[in-house]
Amino acid sequence: MKLVRVRGASKRRREPVVLGVAQFPLLLKELDDPFRTMVILDLATGLRCSELFALQWRDVLWDECMLLVRRAIVTGVVSDVKTKYSNAGMPLDPALAEVLRKWQRKTHFKNPEDWVFASPFRAGRNPWEPGSVERRHIIPATIRCGIGRIGWHSFRHTFRTLLDETGTPMKMQQELMRHADIRTTMNVYGKAMDASKREAHGKVVRLVLAAKVA
């Protein structure tokens, strides 16, 4: 039954809340690792939570400053992500790479095949479960700092808004958001250059990390 998907069952009834930059430090101050690193990475990349929790250390190409999004995990079922944007990888800003480096030094699960966010309660065999992290850690933190009840999709929407605010062209937004069809973002044509994508990604990362609490 885990393989069954009901069309429309996951449709959202209201638009997710978009965070303002001033709210980042309030939220991050309320979180400990690994949850703090999870939120930083999600805000700075716009990954779907199914992609975020399916990351393995071998997906982080440190020398190339690239992050490969090669799989997704939903209700414990791992599947391949097969779009040209995922296969090409996405830029990993050096400042964000350093955040991941710090987490890798802390975690007990740091081998290439280990999950980036491996669950210690499952001896690292599985990653943390997104819904459980949201209910037990993210929502309580957002309530404590006065933001209200928000979840993973708000971070993806926030990333999209930050791209807008930094003047990122719509085609580049499509590629950074990893939308297969540009109509999901906006019907604009053209190919975003890798250097420009890195610059746009770097601007978002700096907005996120500028508010980071030591």
**Residue 43 predicted with pLDDT over 90:** yes
Could you tell me the residue ranges of all domains in the chain? 21-210
pLDDT tens readout for residues 65-88:
999 988 888 887 888 765 555 556
pLDDT at 14: 60
Number of residues that this document lists for the chain: 214
Separation between Cα atoms, residue 213 and residue 101, nearest integer Å: 17
Residue among 99, 69, 65 at smallest CA distance from 210: 99
Cβ–Cβ under 8 Å, residues 176 and 93:
no
| Residues 6 or more apart in contact with residue 185 via CB below 8 angstroms | 170, 173, 174, 177, 179
Query: What is the percent of the chain with per-residue pLDDT over 70, rounded to a whole number?
Result: 79
pTM over 0.85: no
For the ranges 85-89, 119-123, 166-170, 181-185, the lowest mean pLDDT is seen at: 181-185
Name the CATH code of domain 21-210 (choices 3.30.465.10, 1.10.1510.10, 3.30.930.10, 1.10.443.10): 1.10.443.10
Residue the block writes with tokens 């937004």:
173
Residue among 98, 100, 47 at smallest CA distance from 70: 47
